[in-house]
C-alpha cells in the first residue's frame, strides 16, 4: 500500500531451537500507532531488534519508505529514517540531558556529523536538540545530570534523542515501562500527538495506554501474529483473550 511507511515481510529469528519470531509480516502506515502486544517472551523485543537492525534476521525483509533496508546496519537504518527507543535505558548517566541528546543522536547514526547537519538544516544541531527537549518537556532540565532525573524523565529523554533525528517512523519498546500513572498519562498524550508526524510501531505492556492510543493492534504469541485488528476487534476476540488477556 502506498501509505505504508514501514513493513516487515516474513521475519524470522531463532535462538537455538527456539523460534523467537516466526514469519512476522506487519506494516505501519502514515499517521497511525500500530501496537504489538503479547505475553512475556512472545518475541516483541526480538522483532523490534530485527526491525531496527540490532538483531540480524535469519530470514525475511524490512522495508522503510519502500526501500529494502534489511542489509543495513542499525546506524544506516537510523539515517534512513528509523527512530527507536529501547526497553532498557541506553542513556549515559553521568552526562547531562542535553549531552545525552547530542551524543545519542550522533551515536545512533554512527558519528554522522555531516548527516546530522543535513537533518538540522541551517540550524545547528544544538538548536534541534533543544527543540526536541522542549517537546518532551525537558528543556528546563537540559543541564541536569541524567543520573538525577526521575525514571519518567529518562523515558522522555530517550524519546527526545530519537526525535532529534527527525525519523520517518518510530519503533518503541515499552516506553511506559516503570512510569507511574501520571508519567504514563503524559507519555500517552505525547505519543498521541506524535503519530501525525511519524507513525509509531509501539510495543507496550500497559494495556490502558494501548487501548487509548492504538489505531491497530497485532497480537504476538510464541513468535507468531495470531490476530490483528482495531481496539474493539482485539478486545472482542476470544482467541486473544484466551492467549493473552487470560480471561
Ligand atoms: P518479549 O519482548 O516479547 O518479552 P523477547 O523477544 O525478549 O520477548 O524474547 C523472545 C524469546 O526469545 C524468549 O523466549 C527469550 O527468552 C528468547 N531470547 C531473546 N533474546 C535471546 C537471546 N539473545 N538469546 C537466547 N534467547 C533469547
Ligand atoms: Mg521485551
Residues 5, 168: Cα–Cα separation, whole Å: 7
Give, as residue ranges, everything with CB less than 5 Å from ion ligand 2: 44-45
Q: Please classify residue 71 by burial: count the beta carbons closer than 10 Å to its beta carbon, then call 0-12 exposed, 13-18 middle and 19+ buried.
A: exposed
Round the CA-based radius of gyration of the chain to a whole number and report it. Answer: 18
Output the CA 12–ligand 2 centroid distance in Å.
16
Pocket test for ligand 1, best of 36, 41, 203 (most atoms within 8 A of CB): 41
Q: Report the separation in Å between the CA atom of 24 and the middle of ligand 1, taken as the mean of its atom positions.
A: 15
111-149 pLDDT, tens digit each: 666 666 666 565 677 888 999 999 998 999 999 999 999
Residues 164-201: tens digit of each pLDDT? 888 999 999 999 988 888 889 989 999 999 999 999 99
Domains of the chain: 1-81+168-187+195-247 (3.40.50.300), 89-166 (no CATH)
pLDDT category at 245 given cuts 50, 70, 90 is low
Section 33-39 average pLDDT: 96
> Where do we find the cell 548517566?
93
The pLDDT of residue 116 is 65
Query: Which residues line ligand 1 at a C-beta cut-off of 6 Å?
Result: 15, 18, 20, 38, 40-46
- Which one-letter DSSP state was computed for residue 96? B
The interface predicted TM-score (ipTM) is: 0.99
Amino acid at each position: 500500500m502506498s501509505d505504508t511507511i514501514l513493513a516487515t515481510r516474513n521475519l524470522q529469528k531463532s535462538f537455538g531451537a527456539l523460534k523467537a519470531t516466526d514469519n512476522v509480516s506487519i506494516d505501519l502506515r502514515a499517521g497511525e500507532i500500530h501496537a504489538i502486544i503479547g505475553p512475556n517472551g512472545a518475541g516483541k523485543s526480538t522483532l523490534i531488534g530485527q526491525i531496527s537492525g540490532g538483531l540480524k534476521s535469519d530470514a525475511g525483509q524490512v522495508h522503510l519508505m519502500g526501500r529494502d533496508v534489511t542489509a543495513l546496519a542499525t546506524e544506516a537504518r537510523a539515517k534512513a529514517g528509523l527512530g527507536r527507543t529501547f526497553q532498557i535505558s541506553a542513556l549515559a548517566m553521568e552526562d547531562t540531558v542535553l549531552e545525552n541528546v547530542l551524543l545519542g543522536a550522533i551515536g545512533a547514526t554512527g558519528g554522522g556529523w555531516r548527516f546530522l547537519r543535513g537533518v538540522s538544516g541551517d540550524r545547528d544541531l544544538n538548536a534541534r536538540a533543544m527543540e526536541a527537549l522542549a517537546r518532551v518537556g525537558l528543556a528546563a532540565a537540559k543541564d541536569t545530570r541524567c543520573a538525577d532525573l526521575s525514571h519518567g524523565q529518562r523515558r522522555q529523554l530517550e524519546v527526545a534523542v530519537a526525535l532529534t533525528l527527525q525519523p520517518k517512523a518510530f519503533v518503541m519498546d515499552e516506553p511506559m515501562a516503570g512510569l507511574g500513572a501520571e508519567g504514563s498519562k503524559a507519555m500517552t498524550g505525547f505519543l498521541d500527538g506524535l503519530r501525525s508526524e511519524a507513525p509509531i510501531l509501539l510495543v507496550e505492556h500497559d494495556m490502558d495506554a494501548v487501548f487509548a492510543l492504538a489505531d491497530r493492534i497485532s497480537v504476538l504469541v510464541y513468535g507468531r501474529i495470531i490476530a490483528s485488528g482495531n481496539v474493539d476487534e482485539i478486545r472482542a476476540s476470544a482467541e486473544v483473550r484466551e492467549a493473552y488477556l487470560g480471561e
